[in-house]
A and B are shown apart, each in its own frame.
Chain A
Amino acid sequence: GAVVSQHPSRVICKSGTSVKIECRSLDFQATTMFWYRQFPKQSLMLMATSNEGSKATYEQGVEKDKFLINHASLTLSTLTVTSAHPEDSSFYICSSGGLRDTQYFGPGTRLTVL
């Protein structure tokens, strides 16, 4: 299956700062990538679908101005959490859309906002 990397794996920041998370599809050209958020002991919550060369599609209730997504190439999508607050602390995971709807997930980024 596809190999997906994320960077950084962990980030701690102060309230009010912006944080950028990178997601790379290392061996598969992904026109579609997905961003999820996962709170402790809960399942994955889809935040948005990232489409190469076009605007991301956000799920209901996800603020597009707060969670900026850029998918400028077939191998890289970025998620920027703007003006982060403690309630944004979570585990953020990206995935690369594979064949026949399979998705291959990155290792995740743990964000802690102080």
Chain B
Amino acid sequence: QKEVEQDPGPLSVPEGAIVSLNCTYSNSAFQYFMWYRQYSRKGPELLMYTYSSGNKEDGRFTAQVDKSSKYISLFIRDSQPSDSATYLCAMSAGEYGNKLVFGAGTILRVKS
């Protein structure tokens, strides 16, 4: 079993839809949770960063962490064609310089 599980998709939605992306993990030591967006042939871009359980909102993006279920989500409201990319979840146990453990990445396609 992988430490972090993420459905690779692809996930296709119409423009304006609410998108839900999810990851599950097995290591209860993980404390820091991140979502990255990666366009084709580009480096990943940090979208959201959360610590411990709860919700965090930034514009059209909401990150949700449920540590009791070992489950994290990224919601995208009013999805746009420009949101089409690969979304990677990542997490770590803390302390500067710690390695991140990445999910496989979910390919999202938003159709206009």
Partner-B contacts on A (CB < 8 A): 1, 4, 6, 31-32, 34, 42-44, 46, 49, 51, 91, 93, 95, 97, 99-108, 110
**Measured between C-beta atoms, what is the minimum distance from B86 to chain A in Å?**
9
In angstroms, Cα B94 to Cα A107, docked, is 25
Residues of B within 8 A of A (CB): 32, 34, 36, 41-46, 49, 51, 88, 90, 92, 94-100, 102-105
Give the distance in Å from the alpha carbon of A54 to the alpha carbon of B32 in the complex: 26
Interface SS of chain B: loop
Q: Is the CB of B41 within 8 A of A110?
A: yes
Asked whether, in the complex, the Cβ of A43 is within 8 Å of the Cβ of B103, the reply is yes
In the bound assembly, the distance between CA atoms of A106 and B43 in angstroms comes to 6
Do A108 and B42 contact each other (CB < 8 Å), given the known contacts A34-B99, A49-B99, A102-B34?
Answer: yes
Residue of A nearest to B99 (CB): A46
With a cutoff of 8 Å between Cβ atoms, the chain A residues found around residue B36 in the complex are 105
